[in-house]
Structure 1
């Protein structure tokens, strides 16, 4: 990869990078919690998945 291309890719990645707005939620996300529209979405239980199958 030419150095110019690498530099351009790094620049574009930096432009898209976003600061963490809510550091208190980082641990939840790392544990597998899902958020939609800034609200945590409850996971389906294994019992519900078994009934659907």
Structure 2
């Protein structure tokens, strides 16, 4: 028998956002000063786009 009240309360996208935010908070709390843009990008997994010449 299927239980209509047995639902998954996990949202994969939300969990990913929580993890990224947590990583930023931990890094900021361990830093002696503001995080650089490069440090933030690294923590968030941002890959820079090469500039076109």
Same fold per superposition (TM over 0.5): no
Larger RCO: Structure 1 or Structure 2 (Cα < 8 Å, ≥ 6 residues apart)? Answer: 2
More strand by share: 1
